[in-house]
Amino acid sequence: MTEYVIAAPEVPSLAIEGQSARFPLRRVYCVGRNYSEHAREMGHDPDREPPFFFGKPADAVIPASGNVPYPTLTEDLHYEVELVVAIAKGGKNITAEDALSHVWGYTVGVDLTRRDIQAQAKKQGRPWDFAKGFDDSAPANPLLPVSQTGHPASGKIWLDVNGEKRQRGDLRDQIWQVADVISYLSQAVELKPGDLIYTGTPAGVGAVVRGDVITGGIEGLSDFSFTIV
């Protein structure tokens, strides 16, 4: 047993629907601009860009329920609803044909973004870390195993704020489907069990304020509801 000079941090984890066991988290990868209309609303051409990735801390993953705190250092907090993929088997240079065999399960999550910090970082040519990787920035529902969901390649993905429609899309609209995302990412880093991948968001992103109730979901997976406080 390894001895440490301080108490070892708790392993971050995500709940599994209907089970007491949890899914341990290693790394969280996020795909940027993976839906055509969202890429266009952010001022980019989706037909010319390969997928790119950024990360969030594993302990930024929290339940997409109850209260979610409004972060410090921002006055422009944005939501982005996403399909989330949980990796059970690692590997490098995974082929697209084999990629789905590496998946443990799926859920729906929200990538929260301090958009004003991101805009300033882009303007100054600096990293996005504080715009994307802050505390509680990755709400997610409990995972569902592949044996229950299959590999969803289509289905409505949506998000509302205070009952008002904000994001509407379909998983089939992803520029890079899950198998391609896994394959491409594994060329850059070795994927390992416990990794999560947030796969991008449809158009309609926008700001929320304290007191807003955010609801959403993915057809065939699950729905969520939480309040910004």
Question: Would the pTM count as exceeding 0.85?
Answer: yes
Give me the pLDDT at residue 41, please: 54
Confidence at residue 73, expressed as pLDDT on a 0 to 100 scale: 97
- Residue-wise pLDDT tens digits, 83-141: 999 999 999 999 999 999 999 999 999 999 999 999 999 999 999 999 999 999 999 99
SS (H, E, C) 147-201: HHHCCCCCCEEEEEECCEEEEEEEHHHECCCHHHHHHHHHHHCCECCCCEEECCC
Cβ within 8 Å of residue 57, ≥6 positions away: 12, 28, 133
- pLDDT, residue 40, reads 52
Identity (one letter) of the amino acid at 51?
A: P
Q: Are 191 and 182 in contact (CB under 8 A)?
A: yes
Residue 39's pLDDT is 52
pLDDT value, residue 1? 78
Nearest of 228, 223, 229, 208 to residue 79 by alpha carbon = 208
Confidence at residue 105, expressed as pLDDT on a 0 to 100 scale: 98
What dihedral do alpha carbons 143, 148, 151, 157 form, nearest 10°?
-60
The pLDDT value given to residue 101: 98
Helix, strand, coil content of the chain in percent (nearest 5): 20, 40, 40
22 vs 60: CA distance, rounded Å = 16
pLDDT confidence of residue 46: 59
Show the low-confidence residues of the chain (pLDDT under 50): none
